[in-house]
Structure 1
Amino acid sequence: MDVNDKKNLCSPCEFKSKTKEATKWYTECKETFCNSCHENHNAHISSKDHHVIPVDGKHMLKSLHIPLNEYCQDHEKDKDLYCSSHSEIICLTCTQTTHGKCEPAVRLSEVTKNAKISPFVSVLENNVIVVMEELKDIIKDRENNKLELEKQRTEILDTVKDIRKCINAELDQVEHKITDDLKAKFEKYNLDIDKNVKFLSDHLNGFKEIHEKIGVLKEYASDTRTFIGARALEKDLYSEEVMVTSFLEKIQSINIDIEKNPDIFVTCGKIKSFGDIQVKTLDKGYCIFKKIKGRYPIGIESKTLSKLSKALEIKIPQRSIIDNCALLPNKQMIFVDSNTRNKRLILFNEDGSHDRNIKLSSRLFDIAVIGNGKIALSFPWSTRKRIEIINTTSYQLEHEFFFKNKCYGISYDNGRLFVIVKSEGILIMDLSYGIRYRLKVEGYFMSMLKMTDFTVLTNVMTQYSVMT
């Protein structure tokens, strides 16, 4: 258990009956040090490599309420090994009992090395960001549905008034009946949408909290604690995903309309209603949590890749999130860094040496090579949703295509650019004349595509489709 929680006093000084404010916290020693004692402690060979953080960092980590130390309750030992077969942290005795038939365990220190910049933490953080952005989009869609309902409500009221002008005053009671029905249904479904938005907003805050905790781990925790904390956050993320997924499956888009009575002008005395307020619901197909729990990349070499040989090693800059890449005709390699803090292209030479970084104004998603001297970039998260055509000699903008909805995966084949646009399907574009065809894709939303002899579609939920 952490000590000196009640006061930020230097532990060695306090032992000497001195009172001095502490500035450092050593995770291995579990003690606080002032600047002077910190320098002395750091001068020893046995302790110079201890992980040290500011005292405020210790309190920040504690406020996460995440278990950052693993202890085997069954065998009363520290868990310092990692079982790749079960993606679990275990102790030495576990390898001889419950994990005796698993792949040989590796030291936890090997798995957690550079955990802050590992694919595991990067993918976890990126997935949280993606979920938050998708939830924001869904909330915006729900709000837009409210606006559409208001517009439809106004149109219906106008229709009712037009009909009312054609009949005499004795039908006032009939008008009241239809408007009351409209009001009741409008308020009911308006309230339902408000409940949807509140539920989604509450869980969006939950995902924001997980994201903030990841940031604190990366800022203040050691690699081991970052790894362990991230695994705990993974469970929180999965719990949030389960609740939101179950809720999203029940969400329906609501539209209201009126079916006018064709006999309205025949015999006014016999008419009891202007029409019926019809509510048409359409399943939106919201589905942003289809990942399997625990399917996050851990830095352990897989035996299934033993027959592959490494031809080239490329050192990607730290804190990069590489989503897509392309090979240019001159054999240079260009990588898409979709980290919200970076927003850039990273260019490497044929031998793997770093050529340069190309800073962009917005966060991009996909890249496609167009002929010998151009590339296409998609920007689904920008306010101006667009595809940019870039000259690869000067890396200057040559042309832009703008979209109403988010444009994700792009692919180029035989003079045509194929673009996946949310809610629209695949748009087939001519670089000179713009959109030529639209291909509607049924089922779950797909974000990636590749044009070969077949059209291959995939999405972030690991689903795929192949179309001829």
Structure 2
Amino acid sequence: MDVNDKKHLCSPCEFKSKTEIATKWCIECKEPLCVSCYENHNAHRSSRNHHVISVEGNQMLESLQIPLKEYCEVHDQEKDLYCSSHCEIICLTCTQTTHGKCEPAVRLSDVTKSAKTSTFVSMLESNITDVIDQLRDIIRNRENNKVEIEKQKTEILDAVNKYRKCINDKLDQVENIITEDLNEKCESSNLEIDNNVNFLNDHLNKFDEIRKKMDILKEYASDTQTFIGARALEKTLHYNESMLASFLELIQNINIDIEVNQGIFDTCADIKSFGDIRVNKLDTGHCHLQKNKGQYPVDHQLKLSKALEIKIPQESFFRSTILSCIILPNKQMIFVDSYVRNKRLIVLNEDGTHDRNINLTSNHLISQ
């Protein structure tokens, strides 16, 4: 059998060499009990008031991994007494040594009888709930911050696209201007070339007509007629050649290019980015998680005679953050209000009426 399985066996039965599965666990006896032994255990005068839980419940308590009993390492014995003078759990030997001059110690079991319904446990549960709520709020805030970052990212990219569109629109405008200028100059140059071609074609026709007249003279005219006619055609030829030569001196090849505005490249070279992405970290406004110190079970000698409805006086519209409460020997109650705008002690009378406030500094709160 596995060693761990022995924990589930009834201890009294095992002592009798019997094997029975345990269903209960006695806190005081520190042993598991089967159904039959639990009934006997419950019927016995010395053990009927013991705190008995299920085996599963004891396993859950063990899984907490927190000390449920205090042990005095100085005197090597269990602490089972409570010193009301120091609000400290001590052992029997401690009452004769370090706590010899204190008020008589009482049994820890007497002090902790109503621990589950005590102010200390209630406040501790409330503080745990407050911390959990604060953490959940902070986690939600962090998640919301991520959503905000995504929105900011989209807004920045939209702004960049807007700037890019402005630049593109400006470039389109500049491109349209230079395109119109180019079309105009090309059209003007083509018109000039067309005029040149027309002029040259006219002279080509004139020279072709002179050639045709020369062919007719050679075919049909006499030698004398050919000579006289050729002399006349020569004058016409020289005249047209002179006109053509003068015209050709004016003809030039047309070349179209562009002189780029270097300012565009200079501007682009100077632009390293659309801007600088800055990460600004702002105070979230979350309050600091507050630790509760000096919280002890209420002194068994100081008990309220009746239930009270206590109303904490508010300072204008500020809320209160109550950390702890103590009861003085005169049965006045002191509440610690640590809210950052208050920082005070609230003193109430035994009947729950307000007595006075005592203002504190930050240093007072830290030293509590």
Report the TM-score when normalising by structure 1: 0.43
Which residue identity is paired with 1:144?
N
Which residue identity is paired with 2:105?
A
Which residue identity is paired with 1:299?
V
Match of residue 88 from structure 1: 88
- Runs (5+) with no aligned partner, structure 1: 172-263, 316-323, 327-365, 369-408, 412-417, 421-442, 464-468
Q: Deviations over 1:337-385 (max 9, x none)?
A: xxxxxxxxxxxxxxxxxxxxxxxxxxxxx9x9xxxxxxxxxxxxxxxxx
CA distance 1:110–1:9, shift in 2 (3 Å): same
Give the drift of 1:96.
2.9
Match of residue 121 from structure 1: 121
Give the drift of 1:76.
2.0
From 314, 331, 339, give the equivalent of 2:307: 314
CA distance 1:445–1:147, shift in 2 (3 Å): farther
In 2, Cα distance between equivalents of 1:12 and 1:127: 42
* Paired residues of 1:27 and 1:51 also in contact (CA < 8 A): yes
Match of residue 148 from structure 2: 148
CA distance 1:106–1:268, shift in 2 (3 Å): same
Within 5 Å, which residues of 2 pair with 1:27-426?
27-168=27-168, 267=267, 270-293=270-293, 295-300=294-299, 313-314=306-307, 418=317
> What SS does structure 1 have at the residue aligned with 2:6?
coil
CA distance 1:63–1:29, shift in 2 (3 Å): same
Q: Normalized per residue, which structure has more strand? A: 1
* Paired residues of 1:23 and 1:34 also in contact (CA < 8 A): yes
* Paired residues of 1:72 and 1:78 also in contact (CA < 8 A): yes
* Paired residues of 2:7 and 2:32 also in contact (CA < 8 A): no
In 2, Cα distance between equivalents of 1:60 and 1:69: 16
* Paired residues of 1:80 and 1:107 also in contact (CA < 8 A): yes
CA distance 1:155–1:444, shift in 2 (3 Å): farther
> What SS does structure 2 have at the residue aligned with 1:17?
coil
In 1, Cα distance between equivalents of 2:56 and 2:292: 36
In 2, Cα distance between equivalents of 1:4 and 1:22: 13
Give the drift of 1:10.
1.9
* Paired residues of 1:131 and 1:288 also in contact (CA < 8 A): no
In 2, Cα distance between equivalents of 1:170 and 1:157: 20
> What SS does structure 2 have at the residue aligned with 1:275?
coil
CA distance 1:157–1:27, shift in 2 (3 Å): same
Alignment pair present for 1:19 and 2:12: no
CA distance 1:101–1:457, shift in 2 (3 Å): closer
The alignment yields a C-alpha RMSD, in angstroms, of 4.2
> What SS does structure 2 have at the residue aligned with 1:25?
strand
In 2, Cα distance between equivalents of 1:91 and 1:80: 6
> What SS does structure 2 have at the residue aligned with 1:32?
strand
Give the drift of 1:51.
1.6
* Paired residues of 2:111 and 2:300 also in contact (CA < 8 A): no
In 2, Cα distance between equivalents of 1:132 and 1:457: 29
Give the drift of 1:115.
1.3
Give the drift of 1:267.
4.8
CA distance 1:288–1:302, shift in 2 (3 Å): farther
* Paired residues of 2:70 and 2:79 also in contact (CA < 8 A): yes
Give the drift of 1:47.
1.8
In 2, Cα distance between equivalents of 1:292 and 1:48: 37
In 1, Cα distance between equivalents of 2:343 and 2:154: 36
Give the drift of 1:54.
1.4
In 2, Cα distance between equivalents of 1:287 and 1:123: 19
Q: Deviations over 1:74-118 (max 9, x none)?
A: 112221112345443111221332334555433212221121111
Larger radius of gyration between Structure 1 and Structure 2: 2
In 2, Cα distance between equivalents of 1:131 and 1:91: 34
Give the drift of 1:287.
3.4
> What SS does structure 1 have at the residue aligned with 2:306?
coil
Match of residue 386 from structure 1: none
In 2, Cα distance between equivalents of 1:115 and 1:301: 11
Give the drift of 1:292.
4.3
Which residue identity is paired with 1:298?
P
> What SS does structure 2 have at the residue aligned with 1:276?
coil
* Paired residues of 1:4 and 1:32 also in contact (CA < 8 A): no
Report the TM-score when normalising by structure 2: 0.54
In 2, Cα distance between equivalents of 1:109 and 1:75: 20
Give the drift of 1:325.
5.2
Q: Deviations over 1:19-51 (max 9, x none)?
A: 222222112222222222222222222221122
> What SS does structure 1 have at the residue aligned with 2:278?
strand
Which residue identity is paired with 2:82?
Y
- Runs (5+) with no aligned partner, structure 2: 172-263, 320-338, 347-353
CA distance 1:132–1:115, shift in 2 (3 Å): same
Which residue identity is paired with 2:130?
V
In 1, Cα distance between equivalents of 2:99 and 2:296: 21
In 2, Cα distance between equivalents of 1:285 and 1:96: 52
> What SS does structure 2 have at the residue aligned with 1:167?
helix
CA distance 1:5–1:60, shift in 2 (3 Å): farther
Give the drift of 1:150.
0.9
In 1, Cα distance between equivalents of 2:137 and 2:145: 12
In 2, Cα distance between equivalents of 1:101 and 1:169: 92
Match of residue 183 from structure 1: none
In 2, Cα distance between equivalents of 1:272 and 1:299: 70
In 2, Cα distance between equivalents of 1:314 and 1:419: 27
Q: Normalized per residue, which structure has more helix? A: 2
Identity %: 59
In 1, Cα distance between equivalents of 2:318 and 2:154: 36
Give the drift of 1:148.
0.8
> What SS does structure 1 have at the residue aligned with 2:282?
strand
